[in-house]
């Protein structure tokens, strides 16, 4: 893969947010290093990418997606990666989860891939986390709460069980396996460029095509992304005093974290997890508040944003879903202790406009989007042992224990 170095970088305390980087070649052949004498382009050869992928888990959250789509996504993930599927599909009247397991088992045999699967609402999983004191992810029924973020955090706990150094997240509703393959390589390239153990690689889609008047329109930004990015940039501008548009990936569902960073972040539930990553990183490492992580502050945290060559085609989930996502994003920015009063007011106005009735104004967003504690509060060995012993839905393929 051949891509440019970041053109510019915004800095906030120990955090570097790199501007969007472009890919010049998806595959630059079997040579590494720099392009000729000028060091603005970086090349990654097969081996460099492959070495990083060996240490990477790809976490796929699934809820009631078409099996054909899940199958395509799995086929796009390079063989070196461990795949962790966390499903929240219904188990009755038809057991959709069992259908997913069947599909993965059959495919796994042909792919010879290392795959693990679990159901997010497995009662034993809830019991284990309860016992280990990880209440912030649990619902009142004692199981892990519904929600995409909750599924992703379960995925993180499992990736850590297998000693992975990097974790990438990829949605299961993607129509283009080639795009999935590119996301994973983008993650690897980002980690390959990082100069600190604490890094976040976020995918920026080159196009998100829509059908209008019977033809494909290659639009660049959806409404939700546009508004989320605008407000995240406003947060950053308000703190630094310099206006910026550096953030382009506030809602990116395709993103990756180095494990040492992933372990120490708080996560916001449901669909607010992606924008909240920025908020949490600013709060923890932006130099605004006293830090619990002096070592991380010393080494710094890097955020990469890399633009794809493949357009993004996924399932259209409708307008209500988009409004929910937007509300979640705005609420997490407004809820930040780093958010200045003026921006908070503007965010609350934007949320009120989204809400259909006035009663929504009284919503307690902290309750609606609870914060999940860092996974470094969960003892890894106990979790692994108990999960292997007790969780019935914890399925492993490809010779994994």
d(CA 266, CA 137): 11
Query: Is residue 368 part of the contact set for ligand GDP (CB under 6 A)?
Result: no
Question: To the nearest whole angstrom, how small is the minimum distance from the Cβ of residue 157 to ligand GDP?
Answer: 13
> Based on CB atoms, which residue is closest to Co ion, 64 or 389?
64
Instruction: Confirm or reject binding of residue 361 to ligand GDP (CB under 6 A).
Output: no
Q: Which is nearer to ligand GDP, 171 or 277 (CB)?
A: 171
Is there binding between residue 395 and ligand GDP (CB under 6 A)? no
* 3 contact partners, CB below 8 Å, separation of at least 6: 21, 22, 23, 24, 41, 42, 189, 306
Span 69-98, contacts to ligand GDP by CB under 6 A: 86-88
Select from Co ion, ligand GDP, none the partner in contact with residue 151, using the beta carbon and a kind-dependent cut-off of 5 to 8 Å.
Answer: ligand GDP
168 binds ligand GDP (CB under 6 A): no
Q: Assess 173 for contact with Co ion (CB under 5 A).
A: yes
Nearer to ligand GDP, 10 or 171 (CB): 171
Distance separating alpha carbons of residues 162 and 108, to the nearest angstrom: 18
The residue number with the shortest CB distance to ligand GDP is 151
Place of tokens 């390589």: 185
Through-space distance between the first and last CA atoms of the chain, rounded to whole angstroms = 33
Contacts for 323 with CB less than 8 Å, ≥ 6 apart: 354
Task: Provide, rounded to whole angstroms, the least separation between the CB of residue 127 and ligand GDP.
Answer: 19
- Which of 11, 105, 295, 317 binds ligand GDP (CB under 6 A)? It is 317
Give the one residue of 220, 299, 314, 396 binding Co ion; rule: CB under 5 A: 314
Number of residues that bind Co ion (CB under 5 A): 3
Query: Closer CB to ligand GDP, residue 65 or residue 302?
Result: 65
User: How many CB atoms lie under 10 A from the CB of residue 359?
Assistant: 8
Neighbours of 171 (CB within 10 A): 19
At 325 the three-state DSSP class reads helix
Residues in contact with ligand GDP, shown as a per-residue x/- string from 22 to 61 under the rule CB under 6 A: ---------------------------------------x
Q: Where would I find the H helices in 90-206?
A: 96-111, 123-131, 148-161, 177-193
> Is 146 an interacting residue with respect to ligand GDP (CB under 6 A)?
yes
- At a CB cut-off of 8 Å and minimum separation 6, what does 279 contact? 232, 235, 268, 332, 333, 336, 338
Contact between 302 and ligand GDP (CB under 6 A)?
Answer: no
Q: Which residues pair with 397 in a beta bridge?
A: 115
Query: DSSP 3-state assignment of 269?
Result: coil
Site size toward ligand GDP (CB under 6 A) is 19
Whether omega for the bond prior to residue 148 falls within 30 degrees of 0, making it cis, is no
- 263 is a contact residue toward ligand GDP (CB under 6 A): no
* Binding test (CB under 6 A) with ligand GDP, winner from 6, 72, 76, 151: 151
**Contact yes or no for 183/253 (Cβ under 8 A):** no
Of 218-257, which residues contact ligand GDP (CB under 6 A)? 253
Query: Residue 5 has what DSSP assignment?
Result: P
CB of 58 to ligand GDP, least distance (A): 12
Q: Which is nearest to 305 in space by CA: 363, 254, 380?
A: 254
Using CB under 5 A as the binding rule, whether residue 309 contacts Co ion is answered as no
Question: What residues between 192 and 221 interact with Co ion by CB under 5 A?
Answer: none
CB 173 → Co ion: shortest distance, Å? 4
Strands 15-18, 301-307: pairing is parallel
Write out the residues near Co ion by the rule CB under 5 A.
171, 173, 314
Write out the residues near ligand GDP by the rule CB under 6 A.
61-63, 65, 86-88, 120, 146-148, 151, 171-173, 253, 314-315, 317
């Amino acid at each position: 893969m051949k891509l440019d170095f970041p053109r510019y970088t915004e800095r906030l305390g120990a955090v570097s947010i790199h501007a969007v980087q472009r890919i010049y070649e998806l595959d630059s052949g079997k040579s590494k290093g720099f392009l000729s004498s000028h060091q603005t382009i970086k090349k990654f050869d097969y081996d460099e990418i492959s070495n990083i992928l060996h240490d990477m888990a790809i976490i796929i959250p699934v809820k009631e997606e078409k099996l054909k789509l899940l199958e395509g996504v799995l086929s796009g993930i390079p063989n070196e990666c461990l795949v962790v599927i966390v499903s929240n599909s219904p188990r009755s009247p038809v057991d959709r989860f069992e259908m997913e397991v069947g599909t993965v088992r059959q495919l796994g045999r042909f792919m010879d891939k290392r795959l693990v699967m679990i159901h997010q609402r497995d009662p034993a999983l809830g019991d284990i986390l309860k016992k280990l004191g990880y209440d912030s992810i649990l619902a009142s029924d004692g199981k892990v709460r519904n929600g995409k973020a909750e599924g992703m955090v379960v995925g993180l706990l499992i990736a850590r069980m297998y000693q992975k150094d990097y974790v990438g997240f990829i949605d299961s509703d993607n129509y283009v396996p080639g795009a999935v393959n590119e996301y994973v390589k983008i993650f690897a390239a980002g980690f390959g460029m990082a100069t600190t153990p604490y890094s976040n690689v976020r995918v920026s889609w080159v196009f998100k095509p829509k059908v209008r008047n019977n033809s494909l329109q290659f639009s660049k930004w959806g409404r939700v992304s546009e508004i989320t990015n605008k407000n995240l940039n406003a947060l950053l501008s308000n703190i630094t005093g310099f206006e910026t548009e550096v953030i382009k990936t506030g809602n990116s569902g395709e993103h990756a974290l180095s494990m040492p960073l992933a372990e120490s972040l708080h996560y916001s539930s449901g669909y607010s997890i992606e924008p909240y990553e920025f908020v949490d990183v600013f709060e923890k490492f932006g130099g605004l508040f006293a830090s619990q992580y002096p070592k991380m502050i010393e080494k710094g945290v890097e955020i990469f944003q890399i633009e794809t060559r493949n357009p993004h085609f996924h399932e259209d989930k409708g307008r209500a879903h988009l409004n929910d996502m937007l509300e979640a994003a705005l609420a997490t920015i407004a809820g930040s202790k780093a958010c200045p009063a003026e921006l908070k007011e503007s965010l609350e106005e934007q949320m009120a406009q989204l809400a259909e009735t006035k009663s929504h104004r009284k919503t307690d967003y902290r309750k609606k989007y609870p914060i999940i504690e860092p996974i470094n509060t969960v003892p890894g060995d106990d979790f692994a042992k108990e999960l292997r012993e007790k969780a019935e839905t914890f399925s492993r393929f490809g010779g994994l224990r």
